């Protein structure tokens, strides 16, 4: 099974919900319907899109955010790319450290990293790729699906 789509949205926060809804619907059609995975997908992609609109494209209406979805038998892969200069994801401080608790930055990226199975950035830092693996069905003692 393979599903692939590319979507573009304007640098407008109002457009995020529609794109997230479409990605979730496609993932459910592909059998990624576990409630936890669905919620992880919704929150992670919403955060990535908001960061792309707000920080990457600085809400510039002339710029777009590109979303690429790939669904295979094993995983959902979503890439979000903005038209900004990018950033160094390693420079974002851990918001859970005591010294950073009152800082507002970095919480969205922290959530993405906690909710997704794998998170990678391109070299320039203007594209994030997030992966959620399909949960394997539980097996009985003889190795059959439970």
pLDDT value at residue 35: 83
Residue 33 has pLDDT above 70, yes or no: no
Q: Domains along the chain?
A: 3-133 (3.30.565.10)
Residue 15 three-state SS: helix
- The mean per-residue pLDDT over the stretch 80-101 comes to 84
What is residue 73's DSSP assignment?
A: S
- The mean per-residue pLDDT over the stretch 18-32 comes to 90
Cα–Cα dist 27/138, whole Å: 20
Q: Report residue 77: phi and psi, to 5°.
A: -120, 125
Burial group, residue 21, by CB count within 10 angstroms (0-12, 13-18, 19+): exposed
pLDDT value at residue 107: 83
Cα–Cα dist 54/31, whole Å: 32
What token pair was written down for 23? 């990605």
CB 97 within 8 A of CB 29: no
* Bridge partner residues of 75 (DSSP): 133
Q: At 1, is the pLDDT very low, low, confident or very high (cuts 50, 70, 90)?
A: low
Residue 10 three-state SS: strand
What token pair was written down for 137? 């069905």
The residue behind tokens 């710029």 is 63
Cα–Cα dist 39/32, whole Å: 11
Identify the CA nearest to 126 among candidates 80, 92, 91, 68: 80
Model confidence pLDDT, tens digit, residues 93-119:
777 777 767 777 778 899 999 999 999
- pTM for this prediction: 0.87
């Amino acid at each position: 099974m393979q599903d692939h789509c590319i979507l573009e949205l304007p640098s407008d926060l109002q457009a995020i919900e529609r794109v997230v809804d479409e990605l979730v619907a496609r993932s459910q059609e592909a059998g990624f319907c576990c409630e936890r995975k669905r919620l992880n997908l919704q929150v992670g992609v919403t955060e990535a899109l908001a960061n792309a609109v707000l920080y990457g494209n600085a809400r510039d209406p002339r710029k777009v955010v590109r979303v690429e979805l790939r669904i295979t038998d094993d995983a959902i892969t979503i890439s979000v790319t903005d038209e900004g200069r990018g950033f160094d994801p390693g420079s974002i401080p851990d918001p859970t450290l005591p010294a950073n608790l009152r800082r507002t930055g970095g919480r969205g990226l922290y959530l993405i990293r906690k909710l997704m199975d794998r998170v990678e950035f391109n070299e320039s830092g203007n594209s994030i790729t997030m992966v959620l693996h399909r949960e394997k069905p539980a097996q009985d003692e003889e190795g059959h699906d439970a």
